[in-house]
Amino acid sequence: MKLEKAIKFKNGKKKTSISGNIPVYGGNGILGYTDIYNAEKDNIIIGRVGAYCGCVYKNDSKCWISDNAIVGNVKEGYDYKYMYYLLKSMNLNRLHIGSSHPLMTQDILNNIETDIPDYQYQKKAGSILYSIDKKIDLNTKINDNLYEYMENLYKEWFVKFSIFKEEEFKNSELGKIPESCQVKDIYAIANIIYGAPFKSNLFNTDKKGMPIIRIRDLKSQEFKTYTEEKHPKGYLLKYGDIVVGMDGEFKTYIWGNEEAWLNQRVCVFNNIREKGKAFLYYTLKPLLNYVETTETATTVIHIGKNDFDKFKIILPNDEVLNKFDEVTTPLIEKIINNIKENKTLSQLRDILLPKLINGEIDLDKIEI
């Protein structure tokens, strides 16, 4: 059957500038928030133009769909969750029109022909896949809360002493440094390990060899490229490493995925102390934000060794740091374990997805 029999598609409208708490969706997911909506609930969102043409998202509640996306509402007799995963499995990007400016249209979507199983099977298959994604989302939210809790804890313990580059620290009026603290450079608590360039002809996308982590992969911690070559100057990421992208937005990430080669423009702040990652992580954040907001603007802002050499921190003594470690180290471990679990769940979902969509798994005896 054609998709138009199961889903009603319509284009979104120009993004509103009003603020609020209702998500605004474009071709690359959430663009921002507003206080009005143009889509009620159970919305399947498809990227309409550009690089994200054909990307598929879902939103269970009210939202605003921008003119960069198409919204699909599932008709009666078809399961919303199943239809979302069906579209996810179709690789819609290959169906776009236009080369320099890819475009997805309602007509393309309406005329896609596919096999759809009976409603009971749809409901079971959709629920199984949805339950996996729901657990992934829950782990992600738990991690967000843990990061926020540790940041607040860090501020309570250390922020009143502030963190500046050396010349600003001398002019600070925030008060005296406690006797338990000293002004040090960043190398007092971290060794910085830089990634090494790989020749593009060594890259492959078929998951052969060791993955390579690039700036674009840091947030998702998902690998796009691999190499079977060992790099003589390369560094393999390890669980718990603090990773920093050196181009664009300078963000700090705690690594929770498998080992991977560091590509150029990515570096690791390797904690000199065996524990205490939380102190180093939250000490880096304001330093990197300072560089981001004061560096001369160019097309892409860069950061490097010359910037790191100027970083000055107020370093507490070991007794203070050890007490902070006692509280935060278990939280860091929980974050890493959640990232690991999400990776396993994502792999399970990706294995089940085509099998469930194509009806290869017998669900008759499964009760949902």
The count of other CB atoms within 10 Å of the CB of residue 123 is: 17
CATH architecture of structural domain 3-116: Alpha-Beta Complex (3.90)
Determine the Cα–Cα distance for residues 308 and 270; give it in Å rounded to an integer. Answer: 13
pLDDT tens digits for range 312-352: 888 888 888 888 889 999 999 999 899 889 989 999 999 99
Contact 235, 264 (CB under 8 A): no
Residue 274: helix, strand or coil by DSSP? coil
| CB-CB neighbours of 54 under 10 Å | 23
pTM of the full structure: 0.80
Angle of the 277-294 helix axis to the 119-158 helix axis, nearest 10: 90
Per-residue pLDDT, 292:
55
Residues in the chain where the model's pLDDT stays below 70: 160-180, 232, 249, 291-300
Please give the Cα distance from 20 to 166 (Å, whole number): 40
Q: Which two tokens stand for residue 45?
A: 């969102």
Q: Are 53 and 62 in contact (CB under 8 A)?
A: no
pLDDT at 299: 61
Domain ranges, ordered by start, for the chain: 3-116, 158-317
The predicted structure's pLDDT at residue 214: 82
Six-digit token string for 341: 């679990």
* DSSP 3-state of 168: helix
pLDDT, residue 42, reads: 92
Q: What confidence tens digit (pLDDT) does each residue in 25-66 have? A: 988 888 888 888 999 889 999 999 887 888 999 999 999 999
Length of the chain: 368
**What are the C-alpha distances in Å from 149 to residues 76, 152, 156?**
44, 5, 11
Q: Cα–Cα distance between 203 and 343 in angstroms, integer?
A: 22
Rounded to an integer, what is the distance from CA 141 to the centroid of its chain? 12
- Residues 269, 280: contact at Cβ < 8 Å? yes
Would you say the CATH fold of 158-317 matches that of 3-116? Answer: yes
3-state secondary structure at position 183: strand
Q: How far apart are CA 321 and CA 309, in angstroms?
A: 23
Give residue 295's pLDDT.
46
Q: Which residues contact 16 (CB under 8 A, 6 or more apart)?
A: 24, 34, 36, 64
Distance CA 85, CA 265 (A): 35
- How far from the centroid of its chain's Cα atoms is residue 137's Cα? 12
The helix-helix angle for 80-88 and 318-357 (nearest 10°) equals: 90
The superfamily in CATH containing domain 158-317 is DNA methylase specificity domains (3.90.220.20)
